[in-house]
Structure 1
Amino acid sequence: MFRKSFLKIANVLTLRSFTAKPGPIGTEITEILTKELAPVHLEVIDSSNGSESHFRVLIVSEKFNNLPLIKCHRLVTDLVKTKIDSGAVHAFSVETLTPNKWKPEKE
């Protein structure tokens, strides 16, 4: 259910957030995940209509190969833990995929 609704939102919006320009928190999350996980595809969506308190992340990375789903999610969440612990980010949803699992979906 999450994947279908998430992908519908992502397909409708070609931007990385609901706002015209990603805010500082969304930008920082994007930079951290890009630096640490070298994603093939990354979508950081501010689902709080610009207040940057709720984020949905779809990330496709080779680093997820041979890892169980829970470890992939922990890897991503641990990278933005300071934002979550500080209260800057209230809700953080993650969908992680390997490039092999993502390719059929993007076609």
Structure 2
Amino acid sequence: MIATAELESAIRTAIPVQHLEIIDQSNGCGENYAVLVVSEAFEGKTTLARHRYINELLRDQIALMHAFSQKSLTPKQYQEYLAKNAGAA
């Protein structure tokens, strides 16, 4: 079982994080996580490059999971994401 704190620590240690959400979608068994990472470290990087970076960063933890999904956004993209979702509510 992977703990949310373990994922958070790995991400926060590697990059400056403006916002981080880690959601255990497996009803507490730690086998299915979704993460939303907002960092200026993603500026100028493609979505694929961002995902590869996070996947590599969490390689050992992801290997123990059944499923893993992520959103990796720049601060500007996150503001757009919040505005879009606020309009949909």
The two structures have a TM-score, normalised by structure 2, of 0.85
- 1:104 maps to which of 76, 80, 86: 80
Give the equivalent residue in structure 2 for 1:76: 54
1:72 aligned partner, one-letter code: R
Gaps of 5+ in 1: 1-22
- Residue of structure 2 aligned with 1:54, choices 32, 38, 55: 32
- Please, which runs of 5 or more residues in structure 2 have no aligned partner? 84-89
SS of structure 1 residue aligned to 2:3:
helix
In structure 2, what is the Cα distance between the partners aligned to 1:29 and 1:92? 11
Distance (whole Å) between structure 2 residues aligned to residue 91 and residue 82 of structure 1: 13
Q: Name which structure has the greater RCO, CA cutoff 8 Å, separation 6+.
A: 2
Equivalence map 1:1-107=2 (5 Å): 25-85=3-63, 87=64, 89-107=65-83
Q: Deviations over 1:19-67 (max 9, x none)?
A: xxxx862110011111112210000000001000000000100110000
Query: What is the CA–CA distance in structure 2 between the aligned matches of 1:67 and 1:43, rounded to whole Å?
Result: 20
Indicate if the aligned counterparts of 2:33 and 2:69 stay in contact, CA closer than 8 A.
yes
Count of residues paired in the alignment: 83
Using the alignment, how far apart are the partners of 2:80 and 2:48 within structure 1? 22
- Identical-pair percentage: 31
Separation in structure 2 between the aligned mates of residue 24 and residue 82 of structure 1, nearest angstrom: 10
